[in-house]
A = this chain, B = another copy of it.
Amino acid sequence: MPFADRLNNVETSAIRELFKLLGKPGIISFAGGFPDSALFDVDGIREAVNAALSEEPGATLQYGATEGHPPLREQLAAFMASKGVRGLAANDLIVTTGSQQALDLLGKTLVSPGDKVIVEGPTFLATIQCFRLYGADLVTVPVDGQGAQTDRLEQLIAEHKPKFVYLIPTFGNPSGAMMSLERRKAVLRMAVKHGTLIVEDDPYGDLYFGDAPPPSLLALADEVPGARDVLVHCGSLSKVLSPGLRVGWMVGPAELLAKATMCKQFSDAHTSTFAQATAAQYLKAGRMPATLSRVRRVYAERAATMTTALRRELGDAIDFVAPQGGLFVWAWLTGAGGKVADGAVFAKKAIEQGVAFVPGAPFFANDPVHATLRLSFATAPLDKIEEGIQRLGKAL
């Protein structure tokens, strides 16, 4: 069967092959990218959906506006206000089917084949494939413990004049890095100076362990005149409430939101009103702050357990920056003492020892760093984290 040319731009993922091995009995998995189901506020969601079906059954089950269910847009604007974003009206955001759809709509709306897009190295795997399906030519800006390197970013912007720059500034998948306040301001200033659109993807920003991270680019944008006109912000309830709802949102310039809405109409008409009305009721009920503090506490404890065990069991054969939030430890194999220094080779040895993680190379759009790996601490209980890291030590 002759498929569209655009499919030649993407390849089936090496990670997918790895995931087939995860069914092995007794495997401890640090490979996932999802939150812990045991932390979902099932009672809160049950109350929310029942309230929606009682108070507004028609709107909950009928077709809805492509831009989103109005009560949810109101609640999301208020949620963003609680996170330091000033002056955001319900009409300044559209609801998307998870933030994955926001990425898809950005590709559909903005990218012509051959257009340059700058992403972080490493970045979210599904972003790479999503933009490439629209023909994007990806350019990589390196990330360190302070997030994307902004000096290098400005050089790349000047050189490539990209359609946009895609960043996950706070606890990104897979890097876990937290961009510093200084770099955030630098990004906004260079966006205005070069007239370059910045896409801030922020699914993890609420999952901090100690002090809150610096404000999002969106919250900081008021400090840099003109920044709001060149900034898109993607949010999601997937990591903090439930991925199964598939509720995300996108804030951006009105002209861009209008085009994205038109494209969304032909992508899926609108996001499930059943899920949207449920999310709106949940937010309205005021349960989010308690949910957030519970998940922060649990993930913080798991992250601390994992990083302590990694240092103890793998010593100088591994290097990483302890995450201050999110779901991931991003690490480098140093090769010290002649130990394995390739993430993919290590992943295979680890599976043999009954523990799984994801090698880091596929997360690079260009010039993969083969020594890297991503470990999720989100879904394993503390004793399994200890045991899994011991197995990793043996595998090394």
Q: Show the binding face of A for B, using Cβ within 8 Å.
A: 1-7, 10, 12, 34-35, 37-38, 40, 42, 45-46, 49-50, 53, 57-64, 97-98, 100-101, 103-104, 108-112, 115, 126, 129-130, 133-134, 163, 197, 238, 242-246, 253, 255-256, 259, 262-263, 265-275, 277-278
A42/B53 in contact, CB under 8 A: yes
Give the chain B neighbours of A104 by CB distance below 8 A: 266-268
Query: Known: A4-B134, A63-B34, A275-B275. Is A97-B42 also a contact (CB below 8 A)?
Result: no
Most buried by B among A5, A109, A267: A267
A62/B49 in contact, CB under 8 A: no
Give the chain B neighbours of A268 by CB distance below 8 A: 97-98, 100-101, 104, 246, 268
A244/B272 in contact, CB under 8 A: yes
Tell me the complex Cα distance, A110–B6, Å: 9
Give the chain B neighbours of A259 by CB distance below 8 A: 3, 7
B253/A272 in contact, CB under 8 A: no
A246/B270 in contact, CB under 8 A: yes
Give the chain B neighbours of A45 by CB distance below 8 A: 53, 61
The 10 closest A-B pairs by CB, nearest first: A244-B273, A37-B58, A130-B266, A61-B242, A61-B244, A97-B268, A246-B272, A42-B57, A63-B243, A5-B112
**SS class of chain A's interface: helix, strand, loop or mixed?**
helix
B57/A12 in contact, CB under 8 A: no
Tell me the complex Cα distance, A246–B275, Å: 10
Give the chain B neighbours of A266 by CB distance below 8 A: 10, 100, 103-104, 126, 129-130, 133
Tell me the complex Cα distance, A66–B269, Å: 19
Tell me the complex Cα distance, A163–B5, Å: 13
Q: Name 20 interchain pairs, CB-CB below 8 A, sorted by A.
A: A4-B110, A4-B111, A37-B57, A37-B62, A40-B62, A45-B53, A45-B61, A59-B244, A61-B243, A63-B238, A64-B244, A100-B266, A100-B269, A103-B266, A129-B265, A130-B266, A130-B267, A245-B272, A245-B274, A274-B275
B243/A62 in contact, CB under 8 A: yes
Tell me the complex Cα distance, A129–B256, Å: 18
Besides A244-B274, A274-B278, 12 new A-B residue pairs in contact (Cβ under 8 A), listed by A number: A1-B197, A3-B110, A4-B109, A7-B109, A40-B58, A46-B50, A100-B269, A101-B267, A244-B277, A246-B268, A246-B273, A274-B274
B265/A126 in contact, CB under 8 A: yes
CB distance from A155 to the nearest CB of B (A): 22
Tell me the complex Cα distance, A230–B266, Å: 24
Give the chain B neighbours of A38 by CB distance below 8 A: 58
Chain B residue nearest to A38 (CB atoms) is: B58
Chain B residue nearest to A104 (CB atoms) is: B267
Give the chain B neighbours of A256 by CB distance below 8 A: 1
CB distance from A95 to the nearest CB of B (A): 12
Chain B residue nearest to A11 (CB atoms) is: B262
Chain B residue nearest to A195 (CB atoms) is: B1
CB distance from A154 to the nearest CB of B (A): 20
CB distance from A173 to the nearest CB of B (A): 13
CB distance from A315 to the nearest CB of B (A): 34
CB distance from A252 to the nearest CB of B (A): 10
Query: Known: A53-B45, A62-B244, A246-B272. Is A1-B253 also a contact (CB below 8 A)?
Result: yes
CB distance from A365 to the nearest CB of B (A): 14
